[in-house]
Amino acid sequence: MSQNPATGSVVVSDWHRCKDGKEYFNKILHRKKRKIFGLLESPVMPPHVAVDTVHYKIFLTGKSGVGKTALAARLTGRNIPNVHYETTGVETTVVFWPVKLRDSGRVLFLRLQLWDCGENALRRFDHLLPSCKEQVDAVLFLFSFTDRTSFDDLPNQISKWTEESAGRLVKLVVGTKFDLFMHCDVAQRDVRDFQETWRLPVLRVGGEVSNGLDDVSPLLNCLAEQLWHHDCVTAGSVGLQQETVTLL
Ligand SMILES: Nc1nc2c(ncn2[C@@H]2O[C@H](COP(=O)(O)OP(=O)(O)O)[C@@H](O)[C@H]2O)c(=O)[nH]1
Ligand SMILES: [Mg+2]
């Protein structure tokens, strides 16, 4: 697997704050709040604006109560459930996110389908995990800053997915409940050490969901970068293989 791209090297960071991004970000907002998209809905751009939409399937994993359902809500601009109840099966949510590629200036709409599955349901129904894994593009490994065991279990979780996927997957780590610093159980030094050892991006989330895009843009841009870079590397290596076959 190639090295992860540096933050901001693939897509324009903070594009949601730039003037030329406004037209695109307006399509995912409604009265200054995030627009909720159903499974069959998508942002509609005027005919003269050609934008390709790239589809990705993203699986959220982490122990029960770590904040998977809350993260899916946060990324779509919905309120976080105050009371924890175990997700009863699989819940899928669609997030649209426009990005501008730094090299070419090309604009893409990412359509991220988030798959959030309750841990109990996964244990009880054997068919759920295979369908979550089918054609998955990225896995978000969640740990909670207030639960040390969820952090300590990350290497185990990541290794399991790495063995199976053989580098086909984008992996990101998300630390939740970063707002509950009084109860923090994971030191920043430990996070830095983890990041150096595993060479995976670690993002931090927490607090109330805001209506603005500042809250979600670091995570969504980071995910966009990793996914697009991964696609380019895969397409490049496929191209090379085909060239070799033609030469032979
Ligand atoms: N303060 C705070 N609470 C959170 C955060 N994320 C999740 N929670 C709370 O933690 C509990 C479990 O979250 P949930 O998303 O249902 O966990 P899941 O079992 O992994 O889906 C809920 O009561 C949420 O309100 C966060 O970032 N900050
Ligand atoms: Mg849940």
Ligand 1 atom at shortest distance from the alpha carbon of 206: 27
Nearest alpha carbon, ligand 1 atom 25: 82
- As a three-state string, the secondary structure of 47-112 is CCCCCEEEEEEEEEECCCCCCHHHHHHHHHCCCCCCCCCCCCCEEEEEEEEEEEECCCCCEEEEEE
Record the pTM.
0.92
Q: Is 151 inside any structural domain?
A: yes
Which domain, by its residues, includes 221?
A: 43-244
Q: Is the CB of 175 within 6 Å of ligand 1?
A: no
Q: Is 10 inside any structural domain?
A: no
CATH of the domain at 141: 3.40.50.300
Residue 244 has what pLDDT? 41
Residue 58 has what pLDDT? 97
Q: Is 86 inside any structural domain?
A: yes
pLDDT in single tens digits along all 248 residues of the chain: 457 888 888 999 999 999 999 999 999 999 889 999 988 899 988 888 879 999 999 999 999 999 999 999 999 998 887 888 888 889 999 999 999 999 999 999 999 999 999 888 888 888 998 889 999 999 999 999 999 999 999 999 999 888 777 678 999 999 999 999 899 999 999 999 999 999 999 999 998 887 789 999 999 999 999 999 999 988 885 444 444 444 44
Q: Is 138 inside any structural domain?
A: yes
Q: Is 210 inside any structural domain?
A: yes
Residue type, 210: S
Q: Is 126 inside any structural domain?
A: yes
Q: Is the CB of 65 within 6 Å of ligand 1?
A: yes
53 strand-pairing partners: 109
Q: Is the CB of 138 within 6 Å of ligand 1?
A: no
Domains: count for the chain:
1
As a whole number of angstroms, the distance between CA 23 and CA 34 comes to 14
Nearest alpha carbon, ligand 1 atom 19: 65
Burial grade of 94 (CB within 10 A; 0-12, 13-18, 19 or more): middle
Nearest alpha carbon, ligand 1 atom 14: 67
Burial grade of 202 (CB within 10 A; 0-12, 13-18, 19 or more): middle
Nearest alpha carbon, ligand 1 atom 11: 84
Q: Is 37 inside any structural domain?
A: no
Q: Is 26 inside any structural domain?
A: no
As a whole number of angstroms, the distance between CA 201 and CA 180 comes to 21
